[in-house]
Amino acid sequence: MKFHKELYVGDSIRNAEKVKWKLRHRAGQLRVFVIALARGGDQLEIYHCAFLQQKYYKKNPPCIVGIAGGYEEAVGLLLQMIADIYEKTGGYQLKEYFLKG
């Protein structure tokens, strides 16, 4: 797994390092969702962490920019990311922003 250096973490995640370790080692976590850079286009995608246990993602790990303790929290975190990026850059080029940093 690749984690962005400015990782956004939801409020319900108590120990982000432990969650990251579990994601790297493909340990099951029921309520963890990740926000990752999309393969194509200038978008971000929300995945349940179990989705990342597929063999494809072992060879092609996504760049994770956020982790949340539920889908609703992941959506809220994504909205926060969009607002922060717009405030910093004046635009909505999400993928470009994370690839630069």
Instruction: For 11-25, write each residue's pLDDT tens digit.
Output: 999 999 999 999 998
**pTM for the full predicted model:** 0.90
Alpha helices in 12-92 (DSSP H): 16-24, 55-59, 71-89
Q: How many Cα atoms are found within 13 Å in the side-chain-facing hemisphere of 47? A: 20
Closest CA to 80 of 2, 7, 17: 7
Residue 51 pLDDT class (50, 70, 90 cuts): very high
Closest CA to 28 of 6, 3, 51, 5: 51
Host H or E run for residue 96: helix 94-100
